[in-house]
Structure 1
Amino acid sequence: MPYFLQLCLRRLIPILAVLAVWSLIAWGVHAFRGVDFPTARQTGERLWALLNSAPLAGSTLWLHIQESLQRWLAGFSIAAVSGVSFGLLAGGVPWFATITTGIPQVLLMIPGLAWIPVAILLFGIGEPATVFMIAVASFAPIAISVAHGIRGVDVYLIRAAQMMGAGHWTLFFQVLLPAALPSIISGLRIGLGTGWRVLVAAEMVVGTGTGLGYSIIQARWSLDYPAAFACIGVICAIGLVAERLVLYPLEQKTTARWTATLERS
């Protein structure tokens, strides 16, 4: 069998399996509960209408996507800067690691939705509360991964650099940071996915009238379940694009390049 055909089959079979299971669930819910469960065709038709500017919760789907992406980027940017900075300090400065031991681990144990009352008390209902929830939920995995990456640098690399006369800044920027880069990217990848999940949930509770999460909850109240399923599909698509087409290849290239560098050295 030609390679191209094999590749197409590997891509199509999971999609066909999902559609088959979806159809069975829709049939079963309708048969045993008497409830109209949106089929894949109904969802696709509703998604097509939404992509062609049909109204959804008072706005277009494109506006909801734009607003969600802006909140996601804002919250994740805050988490990335603070998480990487914290991880670099915790991994490279012993006294800082001592006084902050356990903080990221504690934050990691708190579900994203548990921050809702804190966000409302601090910022009220609106945009800042949503951004806060994304940032605080994404911070912990980034900080932990970066700190572990710095601490995990081969001690022989550090000693070799010191024997060659490397100062603190040279050691940090030319040895520690490049060696920890795969862990940093891995932490950012996890934090990005965490922030995306929290964003959708936050928009359902503390949103300002736009966003994919807000659209889902409004579609539920209006019984427009095909629209809700269409929004879920858009959420999955955006998450997969960010994960598989951006961060995952970057992580793979970084890991391969650093491994090759170590092998040459």
Structure 2
Amino acid sequence: MEGEQTADLIRAQLRRIRTAAGLSQEELGRRANYSASTISAVETGTRPLDKPYVKRMDEVLDTGGLFESLLRMAERDGQPSWFRPWLEAERNAKQLRYFNPTLVPGLLQTENYARTVLRFDDTKPEEDVERQVAARLERQEILVREHPPQVVAVIDESALRRTDATMGEQLAHLLRMAELPHVHLHAIPSYTGLHVGLSGPLALARSTDGGWVGHLENQLSGLVTDSEDEMATLLERWEGVRGLALPRDLSLALLKEVESQHGPQ
């Protein structure tokens, strides 16, 4: 896989630059505040790469952010080929629309919630899970950049009332995200009953030139489309679920009520 090849490149460059600097694993560990065994485990691939580690290596080895850049490449390359056009659309969007009837949308997930979701496939190696968690968190940086997109997310109330251990933290995070002026959260109340959105999640991205891209997921893979006819249908579906959702203030009141049932975070 391309993501694994890029991760191997990062490890090779970590070893090369450390050696070129005349540093043993023990000495680099002392300077970076990591144990020599951790340095060795990363370089041999028995410990997953993560953003705090590579950021610290960039600082100690004075690489100008090389390892962080390579890690972002590895995270993108590790995504399925069908998903990459959506990542590009999401990253460059002026407006984003998300609906999910069963889960919190990925752009608004906490690390622990994302890890739980990505572990649904219990055959997936732990390193792959951690790489995908890191990639999902990296996507969320668009929410706090200098010129963020407008984000409107509609979530079914049933997704908010899950009783998993991660939900209290997740609900608190949603409330924090809702404080951002460009993030609008809406909930479809459970008394709505059956509705068109129960057919499945959807995501929409509008570029600066006004064009739309849609993203749909299923159990096996997903679909990214910019077909005029398909986008017309998806925009109609979006208007359908958005019209069923509570206004922003009532949605936040519902979120706070559900979050309070989980106790203080």
Which TM-score bucket, shorter chain as reference? Answer: under 0.3
- Return the structure number with greater helix share: 1
- Return the structure number with greater strand share: 2
TM-score (norm 2): 0.26
TM-score (norm 1): 0.26
Higher RCO structure (Cα 8 Å, ≥6 apart)? 1
| Larger of the two Rg values belongs to structure | 1
